[in-house]
Amino acid sequence: MFSRFNYSPSNFFYNNTFNQHLTKGSELFSQHEKEVQDCLSKYITEDGVINGSDLKEHWFSISDKDIFISHSHKDINKVKAFAGWLYDTFGLEAFIDSCSWGYCDKLLKKIDNKYCYNPKSKTYDYDLRNYTTSHVHMMLSTALAEMLNKTECVIFFNTPNSISMSDELTKIKKSEATLSPWIYYELSMMTLIKSTQPRKIILEHSAYSDINIKYDVSKILKELTRINDTTLLSWRDKWNNRSIMCKEEPLDVLYEIIYPKSSK
């Protein structure tokens, strides 16, 4: 991982720029979802066999992606459209994390129905349920950390669905919190994983429970570079107007806009 961005899209920009790329984004998402499902189903089976070592090793068989997008599951269509825009405009492929968490939860439910459910009482065994959940989520957390580490650029798709902004009574101080443990995990990993030089010079987070547990991410967000719609427009225009002889990669152009005085 080289770059970490905090992006807050506007509805206007989505409707006028991203939305026309939703079809392509959905197509890419389906392809990546199949890759992830094939990998997870092979090493986390409905028979209750969880091979963590092989899962970690073969996770790298998933084709390389340029950008990792962390997001709320409520924004999945916007994120698909964003991914489609990145591909159509720059030829960049984005890894949308929800294709992992969403399938993992479905797989976990199948395991729990087979091993943790008591048909007589129509209830799930609390201890067994905790055991299966902790193991499956730990394996996938490790795999996603690996994906974050090997992806060059990470973008947090920051919307009210992922971050809860609550004003204090004084209306002076604002706190930023997320209701999703998966978003909190990935944001934490973004700050813990050491930044590396780019290779070429890379949300649905699901809070399915009705229980709202907030995680303070204000300090974490300060470590992410903010970008906005204007940044993306400048990136697109500079890329489209590049010289025919230009050998730069799309992400290099973005870095030049955001870090104009930085050296690679």
Q: Each residue of 123-144: pLDDT tens digit? A: 999 998 888 888 777 777 777 7
Question: Model confidence over 52-105: pLDDT tens digits?
Answer: 666 656 655 566 789 989 888 888 999 999 999 999 999 999 988 777 766 677
- Nearest partner of 72 among 4, 161, 6, judged by Cα: 161
What gap in Å lies between CA 107 and CA 30, rounded to an integer?
A: 17
pLDDT band at 192 (very low <50, low <70, confident <90, very high): low
Q: Which amino acid is at 100?
A: S
pLDDT band at 13 (very low <50, low <70, confident <90, very high): very high
Q: What mean pLDDT value characterizes the chain?
A: 75
Contacts of 120 (CB under 8 A, 6+ apart): none
C-alpha distances (whole Å) from 111 to each of 121, 138, 209 are 18, 15, 19
pTM (two decimals): 0.74
What gap in Å lies between CA 7 and CA 152, rounded to an integer?
A: 16
Ramachandran region, residue 91 (left: φ > 0; alpha: ψ -120 to 50; beta: rest) = left
Asked whether the beta carbons of 136 and 107 are under 8 A apart, the reply is yes
Residue 90 is predicted with a pLDDT of 96
Coil, helix or strand at residue 90: helix
For residue 220, pLDDT beyond 60? yes
Instruction: List the domain boundaries for the chain.
Output: 3-228
φ, ψ of residue 88 to 5 degrees: the values are -65, -35
C-alpha distances (whole Å) from 192 to each of 94, 139, 145, 203, 227 are 21, 18, 10, 19, 21
